Structure formats: structure tokens, C-alpha cells
């Protein structure tokens, strides 16, 4: 009975996946679906206790991670089905291996984890399922759900997720966490045994308090691991052909979509920083490096879209709503030019008062002309000039409002400079757009 109670207090049984409040691509064990978690548990339970070794060689550490990862992987793939979508699997493999090569040859700044260069032979596999989820196990084995691949709007966003998971493996977060967990267990063991043998009325409460304390330590390590993986992944992205802003737009969209979930304060059971906090930390890193937050380059939903409209018009859409319809023979070229300027304007995170119609009938954003509200346009849609001007102003202000609901802002200090008449051209390489 004492042994069973001790096991319960020490938390030797695993916490079920999801009980720590995870969403997205977080702590590797909490991210596992129940069947995969059970498979990993079977491997864990079969592992003999390793002898204490104070002078392990670096290669021995890497070999241990790889060996354990292979055992986990074999069990996981008995429970999860690999995708039959060859194109999706090849896309993940290409992006993943590009980033893995960078991780294997570059030492990055590490806030938590193994600071040595830890090269692995990485494996990237896509598994069936609608979950917006990915997880990394020791030795460079990374799994991505089909749902996450579909959720990522560009290769830049998908690369951001994979860079984060690579960082967990490269910084050996699981090995470091297990080592630190063992230290806490050795410290708390005498305390808990004393409480149990004392048989005082408060022993049970004190023992439960010790369990919560242990969980608090564990949560702290998980928080550090997630923040560290974000930072290391960001450094990998900076050296890659992928735009690091993709990490930000993916985080922000997750945060926005999480609004539909119940708001629960998980306290010490929280195993990763809220997505909002992670996005703010990412914005700070961009500011430190003077990188402009051009979200339209990595997110299709935050990019103006030109579509054919009614009566021969060409429409400009943003965040799922029509902003304007261009008419006349030059409608398509005018729409394309307007979309480029509109993207640059919206990337600057404008406010409602930043848009107006000037005396010449031009739509102006932050003192720069975005496009002209011209006669062919109001004739095509059947409105008079002033009605169309008012409708357009309302539509753009609505787009600004929706944008500010979607993204994370640090205030004026993070804002881009006002758009110029000739916005800078996007990079020549286009990832997944």
C-alpha cells in the first residue's frame, strides 16, 4: 500500500496527453495521441535503469538519443498510419532536410538545453490525422500530422514548425529534462518517505503538496524548452531560404483560432508559454534585428487577393472580404498594382484613422495613394462616385479592424514605416505561395 501511494505521489504514472493544456506543436509527450503515448510508454517501461556515469562521451549521448528514438519510432508507427499523400510527404521531407542540414553544422545561442553541436540523421514523417500537431522524439525523429501541413499556409510557416521541432532534438531537450527530473526526484524522495512514515494527519496533504511542487518544477522545464526551441528554430530560419516571419504568422493564427476554445488557467500544469507570449517574444527578436514584419510574404490569408468579379470587374479581397472592384479595360493591371501597395500598407499594421479619400478621389493610406476610385469603377458597379468612396473607406477600415484582431502588436515601436509610392519587391524565391 505504501509503495502504491509513493508511486502515485512521485508521479511515476504518465500524465495523459492533453491534460497539460497543450495545443499546436508543443511538448513532445503531451502532443502524442493516446495510442502513440501508449506505444512510447511500452518502450519506457522496458528500459533498464542506466548506471550513473559522470564522464559520458559526446558521441555516447548522441548514440543513446538515436537508439531510444528508434525504439520509440518503431512503436509509434505501429499505432499511427503514415500518410499516403506522396506530395505532402515529399514537401515536408524537403523543407525538413534543408533545416536539418543547417542545424547539424551550426552552433546557435541556446537558452536551455545541450549547448554542444549535436548532429543527427533526421527523419521526417507525415502521419494521417486532422490534428494541427507535430512532435519530436529523441535522435531526430519528427512526425507531422496531415492537418498541420494543410493548416500551414506557406512553406515558410511549415518551415517554422519544423525548425522548432528540430531544435528540440538538436538541443537534446528530452535528455536534459529527464536528467533534471531525476535530480528533483532524488531530493524529494526522503521528504515524501518521511511524510508517509510519520503518519501525521497532515501527511497526505503535505505529500500531495510535494506532488504539485514536482509538477511545478516539470512545468518550468517545459516552458524553458519551448522558449528555447522557438529561439533556436528562429536562428535556423535566419540561415535558411525560408522567411522567419512564417514562425510568427503561424503562431498568431493559432492564437486567433484558440479563441474558440475554453479559456482555462492551467497554472503549474501549463507546459508551454501561451501562444500570445511566444508571438510577442518573436516580435522582440525581429525588432532586435531590424527585420520588418511583412506578414503578407508568409501568410496567404494576410495577403491581398485579386479575383475576377461581376460585370467584367476585377476585385481586390483581403481576409475573406471584398475591398474594391476595378472596372474598365485596365482593371486587371490596376488591381495588381493596388494589391502590392495594399499589402505593404496592411503589413504596417495601420489604424482606422490612417485611411481616407483625398480631394482627387484617391484612397489614401498613411499619406500614400493606394489606388484611385475612378469613373470606370463606379460605372461598373452602378454607384455614384461619393457612395463608392464611402463604401470603400468602410471596407478598408473593416479590413484594418479584422487584421488587428488577428495579429500580435507591440505598439508603435513595432510598426513599419509608412509605405512608399514604390514598395520594395518581395524576395525572388517564393516558398509555398
| Domains of the chain, residue spans | 2-46+59-288, 300-414
Write the Ramachandran bin of 214: left for phi over 0, alpha for psi from -120 to 50, otherwise beta: alpha
Looking at residue 374, its pLDDT comes to 96
User: What is the pTM (predicted TM-score) of this model?
Assistant: 0.77
Which residue, among 211, 224, 307, 175, has the nearest Cα to 10 in the 3D structure?
Answer: 211
Q: What is the pLDDT of residues 149-166, one digit of tens each?
A: 999 999 999 999 999 999
Cell numbers found for residue 261: 476554445
- Counting beta carbons within 10 angstroms of the beta carbon of residue 58, is it exposed (0 to 12), middle (13 to 18) or buried (19 or more)? exposed
Which residue, among 237, 218, 267, has the nearest Cα to 164 in the 3D structure?
Answer: 237
> How far, in whole angstroms, is CA 339 from its chain's centroid?
27
Looking at residue 221, its pLDDT comes to 58
- For residue 25, the SS3 value is coil
Report the distance separating Cα 214 and Cα 268, nearest Å.
10
Looking at residue 263, its pLDDT comes to 59
Looking at residue 410, its pLDDT comes to 76
Report the distance separating Cα 177 and Cα 166, nearest Å.
16
Give every residue of the chain whose pLDDT is below 70, as ranges.
Answer: 1-56, 181-221, 260, 262-274, 411-433
- Helix, strand, coil percentages (3-state) for the chain, rounded to 5, are 55, 10, 35
Give me the residue label for grid cell 559526446.
58
Neighbouring CB atoms inside 10 A of 317's CB total: 17
DSSP assignment, residue 302?
A: G
Spell out the residues 6+ positions from residue 55 whose beta carbon is closer than 8 angstroms to its own: none
Spell out the residues 6+ positions from residue 394 whose beta carbon is closer than 8 angstroms to its own: none
User: Edge to edge, what strands does the sheet with 368-372 contain?
Assistant: 355-357, 362-365, 368-372
> How far, in whole angstroms, is CA 270 from its chain's centroid?
17
Amino acid at each position: 500500500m505504501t509503495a502504491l501511494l509513493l508511486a502515485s505521489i512521485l508521479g511515476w504514472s504518465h500524465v495523459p496527453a492533453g491534460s497539460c493544456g497543450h495545443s499546436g506543436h508543443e511538448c513532445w509527450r503531451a502532443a502524442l495521441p493516446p495510442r502513440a503515448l501508449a506505444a512510447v510508454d511500452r518502450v519506457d517501461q522496458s528500459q533498464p535503469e542506466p548506471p550513473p556515469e559522470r564522464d559520458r562521451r559526446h558521441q555516447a549521448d548522441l548514440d543513446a538519443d538515436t537508439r531510444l528514438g528508434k525504439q520509440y519510432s518503431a512503436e509509434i508507427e505501429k499505432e499511427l498510419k503514415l500518410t499516403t499523400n506522396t506530395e505532402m510527404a515529399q514537401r515536408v521531407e524537403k523543407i525538413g532536410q534543408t533545416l536539418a542540414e543547417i542545424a547539424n553544422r551550426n552552433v546557435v545561442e541556446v537558452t536551455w538545453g545541450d549547448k554542444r553541436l549535436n548532429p543527427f540523421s533526421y527523419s521526417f514523417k507525415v502521419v494521417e490525422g486532422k490534428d494541427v500537431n507535430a512532435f519530436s522524439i529523441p535522435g531526430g525523429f519528427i512526425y507531422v500530422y496531415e492537418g498541420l501541413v494543410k493548416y500551414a499556409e506557406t512553406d515558410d510557416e511549415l518551415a517554422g514548425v519544423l525548425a522548432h521541432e528540430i531544435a528540440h532534438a538538436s538541443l537534446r531537450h528530452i535528455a536534459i529534462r529527464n536528467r533534471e527530473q531525476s535530480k528533483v526526484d532524488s531530493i524529494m524522495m526522503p521528504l515524501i518517505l518521511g511524510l508517509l512514515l510519520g503518519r501525521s494527519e497532515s501527511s497526505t496533504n503535505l505529500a500531495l503538496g510535494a506532488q504539485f511542487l514536482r509538477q511545478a518544477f516539470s512545468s518550468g522545464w517545459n516552458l524553458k524548452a519551448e522558449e528555447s526551441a522557438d529561439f533556436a528554430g528562429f536562428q535556423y530560419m535566419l540561415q535558411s531560404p525560408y522567411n522567419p516571419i512564417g514562425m510568427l504568422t503561424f503562431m498568431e493564427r493559432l492564437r486567433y483560432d484558440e479563441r474558440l476554445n475554453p479559456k482555462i488557467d492551467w497554472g503549474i500544469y501549463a507546459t508551454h508559454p501561451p501562444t500570445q507570449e511566444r508571438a510577442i517574444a518573436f516580435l522582440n527578436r525581429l525588432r532586435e534585428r531590424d527585420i520588418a514584419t511583412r506578414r503578407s510574404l508568409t501568410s496567404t490569408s494576410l495577403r491581398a487577393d485579386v479575383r475576377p468579379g461581376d460585370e467584367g470587374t476585377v476585385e481586390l479581397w483581403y481576409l475573406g472580404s471584398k475591398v474594391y472592384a476595378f472596372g474598365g479595360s485596365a482593371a486587371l493591371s490596376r488591381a495588381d498594382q493596388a494589391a502590392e501597395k495594399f499589402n505593404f500598407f496592411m503589413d504596417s499594421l495601420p489604424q482606422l484613422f490612417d485611411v481616407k479619400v483625398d480631394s482627387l478621389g484617391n484612397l489614401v493610406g498613411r499619406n500614400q495613394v493606394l489606388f484611385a476610385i475612378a469613373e470606370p469603377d463606379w460605372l461598373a458597379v452602378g454607384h455614384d462616385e461619393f457612395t463608392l468612396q464611402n463604401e470603400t473607406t468602410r471596407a478598408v477600415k473593416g479590413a484594418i479592424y479584422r487584421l488587428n484582431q488577428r495579429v500580435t502588436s507591440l505598439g508603435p515601436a513595432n510598426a513599419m514605416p509608412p509605405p512608399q509610392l514604390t514598395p520594395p519587391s518581395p524576395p525572388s524565391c517564393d516558398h509555398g505561395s
